[in-house]
Amino acid sequence: MARARKQAPLKAEARLMLPVFAACGGAGRTTVCGLLASCFAELGATVVLDTSVPLASPWRRWTAEAGGAGLESLPPTQPLTPERVRAAASTLGAGGTTPPWQVLTDRRGWNGQALSLPPEPAAWMRLVQGGGWQVALADTAVPLADNLMTSHWAGTPSLLSGWLADPAAVALLCTGSSRDQVEATAVALAAMETSRLPLHRVVLVVSDLAASGVPRQVKAALTMLEHKVAAVLRLPYEDRLRAHGPLDPQLPAKFSRHVEQAAQTLIDTGERTWGQLRAPAAVPPFPEGSSPDALDPSALPAGALGHPVPGRR
C-alpha cells in the first residue's frame, strides 16, 4: 500500500491493543485488519491475531508462503519464550515498500485436526506481550450483539469486555454502508450500552460498498450513532481493494490516506485514555556553527527582522 506521508513512530514503551469486531458478516473486518496492520507497521512492531475459525479465515491462505511455525507450535503445556512466540508468527510485507508485520494463525492444512484456540482475550494478550509487539490487531469472528446479550443474561464477561479490560485497548466496530449492516451495528451498540462498556474507546469503521458512496438513509443512521462512539471513520470504495485484497501493494495513495487517517484516529483515542503514545517529533538540526540563541542578523534577508528595506517606503 502506497504511503502518503511519514508518520511519527510510537514510543518504545507504547502499546496499543485493537480488537476488531463486526455485528454481522461481510462488514470488512478482516480487510480492515490487513489495511491497518500495514499502516501501523510504519510506527512500531505489529501483529495480527487470527482468533477466528481456521477454515473460515483467509489468514491461513495469505500466510501460506510467509513462513512461521504457526499457533500449533505453541503447546499450552510448555512455557512460552519470546523466541518461540516470534518463531510461530508468519511475516507479511517483507521486501515491499512498507516494514514487515506478523500474523499469528493456525497454519496447518485444511484436512488436519482443528486447533483449539483460547477464547479468553487474556491468553492472546500474553502472546502479544511475549512476542514484544507494540500494536496488536485481533481479528474476531464472534457475532458481537449475540455474544454481548448472551453474556449479559448469563452474568458472565463478554469477549469485548475482556479485550477492553486492557487500558491500552481501543475496539473497532466494522460495518458496511448498507442499511441492514448499519441497523445490525446500531443493535450491537445498544447491547454495548446495556453492558456498560466504555464506548469512548470504540471507533466505528464504515466501508463503502459502492463507488456511489453512502445512501442518504444510511448517512442519517450513522449520524445518529456518532455521539455514542469515539469516532466514525469511512473507507471509500476502491476497485483494487475489491479485486486484490488488503495486502495489495499497489493500492493508490489517495486510498492510503484514508487508512492513515483511521490509524491516526485510533492513536488519538488511545492517547485520550492513557497518555502520549507517539515519540516526539524530530527537531531539524541547526546549521553547523549556529544555534537558536545565536543568529547572525547579517545573514538574513533585508526586512526579515521587521526593519525597512532600503529604497522601500
User: What pLDDT score was predicted for residue 6?
Assistant: 61
The better pLDDT of the pair 125, 308 is held by: 125
**pLDDT tops 70 at residue 72:** yes
**pLDDT tops 70 at residue 222:** yes
CATH topology of domain 17-51+133-279: Rossmann fold (3.40.50)
pTM of the model: 0.85
User: What pLDDT score was predicted for residue 281?
Assistant: 59
How many CA within 13 A on the CB side of residue 170?
A: 25
User: What pLDDT score was predicted for residue 40?
Assistant: 95
**pLDDT tops 50 at residue 283:** no
Q: What is the mean pLDDT of residues 68-85?
A: 87
Confidence of residue 1 (pLDDT cuts 50, 70, 90): low
Kindly report, residue by residue over 43-61, the tens digit of the pLDDT.
999 999 999 877 788 998 8
User: What pLDDT score was predicted for residue 298?
Assistant: 47
